[in-house]
């Protein structure tokens, strides 16, 4: 007789699939002919500090050329960690500006950018053209379709990806409160895929 309290055996399956050098090493894996490439690594970075900077992340007239990115940072990472930590304070609130480049696929092909996390409010441009934003906070992955006419016309050509990440609390983007029982980190905090 089968005893419902008897544990079932667990079958572990080892996949011998080869990992492409720049493909994500996490799940889900994409089937068919879809090629997924990580854009993680060293990105140019700038920061607009503070609550009272007067900077409006939702200003429709903002352009990536207006945002200075004089420093380097790793993506994924968070922009508000203080080295060594500090009692009662984990880092600044403000706006992170992230810039990198990627090569186009075949000429005339659209691409999809998948952000596993960007916190809190995020806007994204490709070659100076805004392709979308994200209001749901850093715990929700999102994808943006980039039309072919926003990309370099040359197959394999360079494209600039610019990301604005605002980690200031406000009444428009999640989380919509000014506190909580844990710290809400800001920035491009998980992988970016193309």
- Mean model confidence pLDDT for the chain: 80
Least confident of 122-136, 148-162, 166-180: 166-180
Buried b (16+ CB within 10 A) or exposed e, 22-42: eebeeeeeeeeeeeebbbbee
Query: Which range among 47-51, 98-102, 158-162, 170-174 shows the weakest confidence by mean pLDDT?
Result: 170-174
pLDDT at 139: 79
Predicted local distance difference test score (pLDDT) of residue 179: 55
80-139 residue pLDDT tens: 766 655 555 567 788 999 999 999 877 778 999 999 999 888 999 999 999 999 988 777
Lookup: tokens for 51: 């609550």
6 pLDDT more than 60: no
| Statement: residue 75 has pLDDT above 50 | yes
Q: Please state, in angstroms and as integers, the Cα–Cα distance from residue 142 to each residue in 40, 51, 133, following that order.
A: 16, 26, 9
Residue 170 has pLDDT above 90, yes or no: no
Whether pLDDT at 18 is above 70 = no
Q: Which of 123, 122, 129 is nearest to 148 (CA)?
A: 129
Average pLDDT over residues 28-55: 82
CA-to-CA distance for 188 and 98, rounded, in angstroms?
8
Q: Which of 106, 122, 2, 48 is nearest to 114 (CA)?
A: 122
């Amino acid at each position: 007789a089968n005893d419902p309290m008897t544990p079932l055996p667990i079958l572990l399956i080892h996949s011998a699939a080869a990992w492409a050098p720049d493909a994500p090493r996490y799940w889900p894996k994409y089937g068919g002919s879809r090629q997924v490439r990580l854009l993680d690594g060293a990105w140019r970075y700038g920061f607009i500090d503070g609550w009272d900077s007067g900077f409006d992340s939702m200003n429709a007239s903002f352009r990536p050329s207006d945002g200075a990115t004089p420093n380097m940072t790793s993506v994924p990472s968070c922009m508000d960690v203080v080295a060594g930590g500090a009692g009662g304070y984990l880092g600044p609130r403000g706006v992170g500006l992230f810039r990198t480049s990627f090569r186009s696929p075949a000429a005339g092909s659209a691409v999809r950018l998948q952000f596993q996390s960007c916190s809190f409010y995020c806007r994204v441009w490709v070659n100076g053209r805004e392709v979308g934003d994200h209001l749901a906070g850093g715990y929700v992955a999102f994808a943006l379709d980039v039309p072919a006419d926003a990309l370099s016309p040359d197959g394999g050509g360079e494209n600039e990806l610019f990301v604005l990440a605002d980690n200031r609390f406000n009444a428009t983007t999640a989380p919509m409160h000014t506190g909580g029982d844990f710290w809400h980190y800001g920035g491009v905090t998980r992988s970016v895929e193309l």
